[in-house]
Amino acid sequence: MTAPRLYVDSADVDRVGRLLRAGVVHGVTTNPTILERGGRTAGEIPALYERWVDEGAHEVFFQTWGGDTASFLRNAEGIRALGDRVAVKVPATAEGFAAASALVRDGATVLVTAVYSVAQALACASIGAHYIAPYLGRMRDAGMDGDAVIAQMQAMCEGSATNVLAASLRSPADVVSLRLAGVPYFTAAPDVLDEMLFHPVSDSSAVEFDAAMERLSS
Ligand code: G3P
């Protein structure tokens, strides 16, 4: 099984910076909604990229926009020009698939986002997209069995160049259950990532270790 990777799905620069500098996430994923929620503007994208790469991001994802293939491709150009650690997100619409396919053929790192069906995932694998992002929480919100659908996507991508990067993960348990289905990559909000690193007994054990060391040193 591919080693797991965590990404932070946020444009909250303080919290993203903390996770990057701690070295616990591989990179940062964003989309227009996340940028808006983080109080950012489109004009700040280049500065965000530079900042996150300086803070240790191996990969930074920005989403192209525009609705039609030509606009997706035009806006993707600016994203690709940011640097060699950038990946372009493209929504899983008919127009988006055409843009994603062209971007893959042109050598870009491409993630197809908001993938909701196994058939869409198969199409992503067939065009050679590097990543697909299914949204677990939103699938459940829509009454779908998100865990089962994503497990099938994972099985379907095995042996292809396409990797599942699961999103809309709302608890550490979501990450763990998808990992047990073989999913390699995960992106989650800072709250979920912080919660993944925490266990009360770990904290009380650390306090005990320090107390013992103090006694040993006195
Ligand atoms: O990247 C997916 C994210 O933007 C959606 O997460 O929890 O709002 O469904 P959520």
The CA 167 to ligand 1 mean position distance, Å, reads 6
Give the count of alpha carbons within 13 A of 171, CB side only: 3
- Pocket lining: 18 vs ligand 1, CB cutoff 6 Å: no
Domain count, the chain: 1
Are 170 and 9 a contacting pair, CB within 8 Å? no
What's the rounded Cα separation, in Å, for the pair 113 and 132? 6
Is residue 188 part of the annotated active site? The answer reads no
Mean pLDDT score of the chain: 97
For 187-213, write each residue's pLDDT tens digit: 999 999 999 999 999 999 999 999 999
Are 65 and 71 a contacting pair, CB within 8 Å? yes
Q: Band of the pLDDT at 143, cuts 50, 70, 90?
A: very high
- In this predicted structure, the answer to whether residue 118 has a pLDDT above a threshold of 90 is yes
**pTM, to two decimals:** 0.95
- Pocket lining: 34 vs ligand 1, CB cutoff 6 Å: yes
Find the DSSP H helices in the chain: 13-21, 32-37, 45-54, 69-80, 94-105, 118-127, 136-141, 146-157, 172-180, 190-196, 200-217
The CA 178 to ligand 1 mean position distance, Å, reads 16
| pLDDT (mean) for 153-161 | 96
- Pocket lining: 30 vs ligand 1, CB cutoff 6 Å: no
- In this predicted structure, the answer to whether residue 1 has a pLDDT above a threshold of 90 is no
Ligand 1, atom 8: nearest CA belongs to which residue? 168
- Pocket lining: 138 vs ligand 1, CB cutoff 6 Å: yes
Ligand 1, atom 6: nearest CA belongs to which residue? 168
The CA 218 to ligand 1 mean position distance, Å, reads 51
The CA 10 to ligand 1 mean position distance, Å, reads 10
DSSP 2: P
- Pocket lining: 88 vs ligand 1, CB cutoff 6 Å: no
Ligand 1, atom 5: nearest CA belongs to which residue? 168
The catalytic position among 89, 136, 163, 165 is: 89
Closest CA to 175 of 156, 155, 195: 195
Q: Please tell me whether residue 63 adopts helix, strand or coil conformation.
A: strand
What's the rounded Cα separation, in Å, for the pair 88 and 152? 24
| pLDDT (mean) for 70-81 | 98
**Counting beta carbons within 10 angstroms of the beta carbon of residue 51, is it exposed (0 to 12), middle (13 to 18) or buried (19 or more)?**
middle
Bigger pLDDT: 39 vs 1: 39
pLDDT value at position 9? 98
Whole-number percent of the chain with pLDDT over 70: 100
- Pocket lining: 7 vs ligand 1, CB cutoff 6 Å: no
Ligand 1, atom 7: nearest CA belongs to which residue? 168
Residue-number span of the structural domain to which 151 is assigned: 5-217
Other beta carbons within 10 angstroms of residue 218's beta carbon come to 5
Cα separation values, 70 from 65, 74, 97, 117, Å: 10, 6, 12, 25
Q: Check which CATH number belongs to the domain holding 144 and give it.
A: 3.20.20.70
Q: What is the dihedral of CA 102, 35, 25, 21, to 10 degrees?
A: 130
Residues 6+ apart with CB under 8 A from 9: 28, 29, 30, 34, 167, 187, 188, 189
